């Protein structure tokens, strides 16, 4: 990833939500707004391994519903947390991005 700071910004949102500094609805809104902004200003960060991992975050968020319908393959908040935690663990192990800075 060429612009580490931009990628870290997106991941930090997920960390803030996991540590309950953001409400779920605010996290979802902030995530998509930040991602959209980054895609228009730094599209290169979504190439390669970081892009794959960001895609996993996108998929989890797209599948999330506050009132999930399992028949539609929607996930609840607990499952969303597990999915995002898993992606962040991979980011920490493989990419060494500092997503804990404020």
The CATH number fitting domain 4-95, selected from 3.40.50.300, 3.30.450.20, 1.20.120.650, 3.40.50.1370: 1.20.120.650
pLDDT in tens, 6-50: 788 899 999 999 999 999 999 999 999 999 999 999 999 999 988
Cα-Cα end-to-end distance for the chain: 20
Please state the domain extents for the chain: 4-95
Query: What distance in Å separates the CA atoms of residue 82 and residue 79, rounded to the nearest whole number?
Result: 5
64: helix, coil or strand?
A: strand
Share of the chain above pLDDT 90, in %: 65
């Amino acid at each position: 990833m060429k612009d580490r700071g931009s990628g870290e910004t997106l991941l930090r949102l997920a960390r803030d939500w996991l540590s309950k500094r953001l409400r779920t609805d605010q996290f979802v809104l902030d995530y998509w707004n930040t991602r959209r902004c980054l895609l228009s200003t730094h599209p290169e960060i979504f190439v390669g391994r970081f892009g794959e991992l960001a895609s996993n975050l996108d998929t989890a968020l797209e599948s999330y519903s506050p009132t999930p319908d399992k028949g539609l393959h929607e996930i609840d908040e607990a499952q969303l947390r597990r999915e995002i935690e898993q992606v962040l663990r991979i980011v920490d192990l493989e990419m060494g991005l500092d997503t804990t800075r404020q």
